[in-house]
Amino acid sequence: MKVHFLGTAAAEGYPGLFCRCEHCRRAKERGGRDIRTRSSVILNDTLKIDFPPDTLLHVLRDGIDLGCVRDLFITHTHLDHLRAEDLLLRMPVYAHGLDRPLRVYGHDAAVRKCRDAVGYANPERIDVRRIVPFETVDTGTALVTALPANHDPEETCLLYYIETGGRTLFYGHDTGPLPDDAWAWLSGRRIDLAILDCTNGTLPFTGGHLNVEAVLGIRDRMKGEGMLGPDGRVVATHFSHNIGLMHEDLVSIFAPEGIEVAYDGFVLSV
């Protein structure tokens, strides 16, 4: 499975869109891996998770052909994960040369936001489908199971367990400590790659997101319960500017633990 990280920041971006804090100033000066945009990944060039406001930037920066993406899974409707209005740009006049619909999956709130943006016309361009926790979708290229997140009490936020080509990915953000029923579903399953929320870095833990200590705790439990084998990989992502850590700081925290730190444009294969 090829995993391409398009964006690895929390909602505001890092540097933040309007922010003039010391951390954002440093990140701007340093550039490279210290520049983080709003979060998304593409798997095997065909399955995308989330549709943030920086999608055009991702396409231009990394040479992405979004026409190759068949399935788009939305975790939740926060502004850094779903800019539904941009889905309109897949409609006739705005986009040419598309040979299949983009299937867009999400829970109630995400489906509503997408419908409000694109309506019901042109199903050959956008095919919006509701998915509920613990439901498994066979996309033809992957089996994708939605799991409940612990993120925003106002909506059902989803995490995803994805199986393709005999390899498995747990997509674990945005979330705080995983709900018991998500752990129960994962029990007995193998995880080749876990991508985890590390919004809070070394700051104290807050609800709805994870920090370094919480990432280590989830990794330890996944190992302890046999989900994560000796070759299983863990990647931390979705970093807030408030943590004040540059990419190299995060690497020096996580590398001794055998955990990788995502950056924009990072491509890995599991």
For residue 261, the minimal CB distance to Zn ion (Å) is: 17
21 binds Zn ion (CB under 5 A): yes
90 binds Zn ion (CB under 5 A): no
80 binds Zn ion (CB under 5 A): yes
Among 48, 70, 78, 107, binds Zn ion (CB under 5 A): 78
Tell me whether residue 101 or residue 244 sits nearer to Zn ion (CB atom).
Answer: 244
- Please state the separation of Cα 55 from the chain's center in Å: 13
Phi, psi of 187 (to 5 degrees): -55, 130
| Structure-block tokens of residue 1 | 């499975």
Measured distance CA(181)–CA(200) in Å, rounded: 24
Q: How many CA atoms lie within 13 A of 49 on its CB side?
A: 28
Tell me whether residue 78 or residue 103 sits nearer to Zn ion (CB atom).
Answer: 78
Tell me whether residue 97 or residue 153 sits nearer to Zn ion (CB atom).
Answer: 153
Task: Answer yes or no: are the C-beta atoms of 33 and 247 closer than 8 Å.
Answer: yes
Tell me whether residue 147 or residue 227 sits nearer to Zn ion (CB atom).
Answer: 147
Tell me whether residue 194 or residue 227 sits nearer to Zn ion (CB atom).
Answer: 194
| Structure-block tokens of residue 264 | 């924009």
In total, the chain counts a number of residues equal to: 270
Place of tokens 């990647």: 235
For residue 148, the minimal CB distance to Zn ion (Å) is: 14
236 binds Zn ion (CB under 5 A): no
Measured distance CA(71)–CA(48) in Å, rounded: 6
Measured distance CA(42)–CA(247) in Å, rounded: 21
> Do β-strands 2-7 and 40-43 pair in parallel, antiparallel, or remain unpaired?
antiparallel
Among 2, 19, 205, 244, binds Zn ion (CB under 5 A): 19
Helix-, strand-, coil-residue percentages of the chain, each rounded to 5: 30, 25, 45
50 binds Zn ion (CB under 5 A): no
Q: Which stretch binds Zn ion (CB under 5 A): 49-57, 60-68, 166-174, 186-194?
A: 166-174
Tell me whether residue 79 or residue 121 sits nearer to Zn ion (CB atom).
Answer: 79
> Do β-strands 233-237 and 260-261 pair in parallel, antiparallel, or remain unpaired?
parallel
Number of residues near Zn ion (by CB under 5 A): 8
Task: Answer yes or no: are the C-beta atoms of 175 and 183 closer than 8 Å.
Answer: no
First vs last C-alpha separation in the chain: 5
241 binds Zn ion (CB under 5 A): yes
For residue 175, the minimal CB distance to Zn ion (Å) is: 9
Q: Which stretch binds Zn ion (CB under 5 A): 21-29, 98-106, 179-187, 220-228?
A: 21-29
Among 7, 16, 148, 232, binds Zn ion (CB under 5 A): 16
Tell me whether residue 50 or residue 163 sits nearer to Zn ion (CB atom).
Answer: 50
Tell me whether residue 174 or residue 192 sits nearer to Zn ion (CB atom).
Answer: 174
Q: Which stretch binds Zn ion (CB under 5 A): 24-32, 63-71, 127-135, 258-266?
A: 24-32
Helix (H, G, I), strand (E, B) or coil at 167: strand
Q: List residues binding Zn ion (CB under 5 A).
A: 16, 19, 21, 24, 78, 80, 174, 241
